[in-house]
Amino acid sequence: MKEYFENTMHQHIDIVEYTETEKLPLIYKSNYKLYLAEIGKVQFLMAEPVQKMNLSALRKQHKQLEKLTELRCVLYLTKLNYYAKEMMLLEGIPFILEGKQIYLPFLGMALSNYDKRALKTCEQISFLTQKLLLTAIYEGWKDINVTEAAKKLKVAKTSITRCYNELEILEIPYLKTKSRSRLFCGIEDKKEMWLTLKPYLRNPLIKQYELKQDIEKDLRLSDISALCNYSMLSDNEYRTYAVTKSALKELQLSYNDRVQALEVPGCIVQELGYMVDFGNNEAIDPFSVWMLISDTEKTDPRVEKSLNEMMEEYVW
C-alpha cells in the first residue's frame, strides 16, 4: 500500500492503523481494514474492504465512513470493474486501485498506470465550471454545496461534482471542506474574485456564423452588440446574437444563409459554450462580454471606456 503510492506518486505518505474504531458500528469494523494516512499535513481515512463489495455498498459505506469519522475517506481496492471505476470518477469518490490508478481529487491527484502518465484532468476549464464561477460571483455564493449548486444551475449533481473536482485540481481558492462536504465560498469583493479567476477562464465562443440577413428571432445580444446594450457605445451596422448549441439547431442555418468573404453581414450569430442568466436577459452577461471582445477591439478607447462603465454599473 505505502510502497505502491510512494513509488507511483513520488511523495511520502504516513500510514498507521486507525485506532478510533469504538465509534464505528460493527459492520464497518468487520468489512474494512482501516488506516489513518497523511500526506503533507493532510490526514484522511484509508478503507480497504476485506472482501469483494458491489458499487452500491461501496458508495453507501464510503459516505457513512466519512460522516462517522469526520475524515476524508479513500477506498483502497485491489479489484474494480470498469463501470464501477467510471462511476466513482464521475461521482468524485476518492480511491486507490492497487497497481493501476490513484484518484484523490481533494489533493488534486489523479494518475493512471494504464498509460504511465499523470492524467491531464483539467487542461482547460469546462464551460459548465466557468458558468458556475461566473454565477457564483454575480449571486455572491457563500457555503454552497453540490446539491444547492445543482439546483441553482438546473443540472444534475454529478455534473456539479465534476465542476468541484475541477476547482480542486486547478487549486481555485474558493472551495473549502466542511465535514465531508465541499462548499463553494466566495468573497464579497466581486472585483477581487474576478481578477483571481480571470487566468482560468476562456473565451466562451465556439463558432461564429455571419449571415446575409438579420434573423427575426428573440435572441440575446452578444459581443459588441451586448456591450452597446450595457453602455452608450454605438453598435455596428449589424447586430450580433448569442445562442447555445440546442438553440443553434432550431435556427436550421444553411451554408446559403452565410455571406461571402469580406461582405458586410446582415447579422452575426455566435454559438457560445454556456449562457448565464443576467438582468432581463436581453444580452449575455457582462463577464462573458468582456471575454468575447477581442484584444484588438479593447485598444479602442471608446470600447475600453464602455467596458469599464459596464462593469462599474452592472457588476461591481
The Cα–Cα gap between 74 and 103 comes to: 9
Q: 75 and 132 in one domain? A: no
Q: 82 and 12 in one domain? A: yes
How big is the chain by its Cα radius of gyration, in Å? Answer: 24
pLDDT at position 204, please? 94
Q: 136 and 69 in one domain? A: no
Query: In this structure, what C-alpha cell is assigned to residue 194?
Result: 474576478
pLDDT for residue 179 is more than 80: no
Give the three-state DSSP class for 243. Answer: strand
Q: 91 and 134 in one domain? A: no
What domain range is 165 assigned to?
Answer: 127-200
The Cα–Cα gap between 109 and 192 comes to: 28
Give the three-state DSSP class for 290. Answer: helix
The Cα–Cα gap between 136 and 161 comes to: 15
pLDDT for residue 315 is more than 70: yes
pLDDT band per the 50, 70, 90 thresholds, residue 115: very low
Residue located via cell numbers 481578477: 195
DSSP 89-147: HHHT--EEETTTEEEEGGGTEEEETTTTEE--TTSS--HHHHHHHHHHHHHT--SB-HH
Q: 221 and 291 in one domain? A: yes
pLDDT for residue 1 is more than 70: yes
pLDDT (tens digit per residue) in 31-46: 999 999 998 888 999 9
pLDDT (tens digit per residue) in 193-245: 999 999 889 999 999 999 999 887 889 999 999 999 999 999 999 999 999 98
Distances, alpha carbon 70 to alpha carbons 17, 43, 144, in Å: 16, 11, 19
Nearest to 132 by CA among 101, 100, 170: 170
pLDDT at position 221, please? 96
DSSP 8-class letter at 255: G
pLDDT for residue 89 is more than 90: no
Q: 100 and 29 in one domain? A: yes
Confidence (pTM): 0.62
Residues 251-262 have a mean pLDDT of: 83
From 200, 232, 261, the end of a domain falls on 200
